[in-house]
Amino acid sequence: ETGVTQTPRHLVMGMTNKKSLKCEQHLGHNAMYWYKQSAKKPLELMFVYSLEERVENNSVPSRFSPECPNSSHLFLHLHTLQPEDSALYLCASSQDRNQPQHFGDGTRLSIL
């Protein structure tokens, strides 16, 4: 496999469920990112990890909890989400935190 892989591609969950999104990069990069893409809004940066250390938390509600166990994997743990959290969640990686970012295909999340 190459590039940035996200699973699952689609997720439907109730507001009381707990689920996790997974991102894996096969590019040997040291920085990873979570973005939220909502309809008719610009991409919103959520979290940034560099060398497994979180360097940015862009005022994201605590119902979103990121985890970066190593430089190749990034998770987004979800709990008690709201309907307005329905969106496409994109993961990206870069060689380091000042290099171009490469994106995965995203997880389409729907909150019932």
CB nearer another protein, residue 16 or residue 98? 98
CB of 100 to another protein, least distance (A): 6
Instruction: Residue 65: name the closest of 74, 52, 54, 78 by CA.
Output: 78
Query: Is residue 31 within the footprint of another protein (CB under 8 A)?
Result: yes
Of the candidate spans 12-20, 63-71, 79-87, 97-105, the one that interacts with another protein by CB under 8 A turns out to be 97-105
100 in Cβ contact with 41 (< 8 Å)? no
The answer to the question of residue 4 lying near another protein (CB under 8 A) is yes
SS (H, E, C) 68-109: EEECCEEEEEEECCCHHHCEEEEEEEECCCCCCCEECCCEEE
Asked whether position 30 contacts another protein by CB under 8 A, the answer is no
Distance between CA 85 and CA 12 in Å, rounded?
11
Binders of another protein: how many residues, by CB under 8 A? 25
User: What six digits make up the tokens of 56?
Assistant: 């940015």
- Name the minimum Å distance from CB 33 to another protein: 9
**Residues in contact with another protein by the rule CB under 8 A:** 4, 6, 31, 40-43, 45, 48, 50, 55-56, 90, 92, 94, 97-106
